Amino acid sequence: MDTGPALKEQRDARGVVTLTLNRPASFNALSEEMIAALQSALDRLAPDEGVRAVVLAAEGKAFCAGHHLKEMIASPGLAYYQRLFAQCSRMMLAIQKLPVPVIARVQGIATAAGCQLVAQCDLAVASSEARFAVSGINYGLFCSTPSVPLLRNVPPKQAMEMLVTGEFITAAEAQARGLVNHAVPPDRIDHEIERLLASILAKPRVALAMGKELFHRQQGLGIEAAYQLAAQTMAANMMDACALEGVTAFTEKRKPAWAPPTE
């Protein structure tokens, strides 16, 4: 039986926050409790300038098995389902709006809305033993909301195949399709995440925040509007002291001496 908080939170001295799904007996399903816990944590972390990166992890054999189906069928009704999926979508968008990179640490299966959670994160490192599926169609429920970030990660025909068949793909296939950045042996997953974190933490937080916002905003724009927005972002970025120091350091052939982030 699951005990303790639905979501565990740990923060290290570098400003790396690890959020760990803690309902292994229910395969870390996105119950109302879990969605609310994630939303609360993300809302609290968003304005905290001491946070430099977030790692989304999970306890047990599964990363996340999607929505809590038993909970869902216990309250049948259109208004309930509309509210539930709106709450989940808001939580997913909070990951995108967080001004720091979010890395999914995928140690086990990620299905349906669990696969959506992986796709929604900025980066993902998976154990070679992990598997992925948008499997709702197997139960008569097309994974409509998971399809949103899936299609923004995976080429259309490969995304559609996953959606209409509900079949699992391996971690290696997920990497090849762009769903995860790296698929590594289970004992190397934390090493690979630390490698990514070391590189991220060496960069100015303000530049990463500007870049992440631009990256997601321009995806839904035509190319001219995307270039206009990107140009505005670059100009604003160049006015920041970190960029000025970085460019000056490059011209002077030295390493940049960035000021530490303010708390």
Query: What is the predicted pLDDT for the residue at 69?
Result: 84
Say whether both 18 and 109 belong to one domain.
Answer: yes
Query: What is the predicted pLDDT for the residue at 235?
Result: 74
Say whether both 233 and 143 belong to one domain.
Answer: no
Does some domain include residue 259? no
Say whether both 234 and 137 belong to one domain.
Answer: no
Does some domain include residue 262? no
- From CA 61, how far away is CA 109, in angstroms rounded? 7
**201, 216, 232 — which closes off a domain?**
201
**pTM tops 0.85:** yes
Say whether both 20 and 145 belong to one domain.
Answer: yes
Does some domain include residue 153? yes
Say whether both 193 and 215 belong to one domain.
Answer: no
- Give Cα 154 to chain centroid, integer Å: 15
Does some domain include residue 263? no
Mean pLDDT, rounded, of the chain? 92
Average pLDDT over residues 202-220: 93
Per-residue pLDDT tens over the stretch 167-201: 999 999 999 999 999 999 999 999 999 999 999 99
> Per-residue pLDDT for 261 more than 60?
no
Q: Which domain holds residue 190?
A: 7-201
Query: What is the predicted pLDDT for the residue at 234?
Result: 67
Per-residue pLDDT tens over the stretch 234-260: 677 767 788 778 778 877 888 888 776
Query: What is the predicted pLDDT for the residue at 260?
Result: 67
- Cβ-defined contacts of 156-164 (< 8 Å, 24+): 162/132, 162/133, 162/134, 163/134, 163/137, 164/137
Per-residue pLDDT tens over the stretch 49-101: 999 999 999 999 999 999 998 888 887 788 889 989 999 999 999 999 999 99
Say whether both 195 and 211 belong to one domain.
Answer: no
Per-residue pLDDT tens over the stretch 96-147: 999 999 999 999 999 999 999 999 999 999 999 999 999 999 888 889 999 9
Please work out, in degrees rounded to the nearest 5, the angle formed at the alpha carbon of residue 188 by the alpha carbons of 186 and 191: 140
Say whether both 150 and 222 belong to one domain.
Answer: no
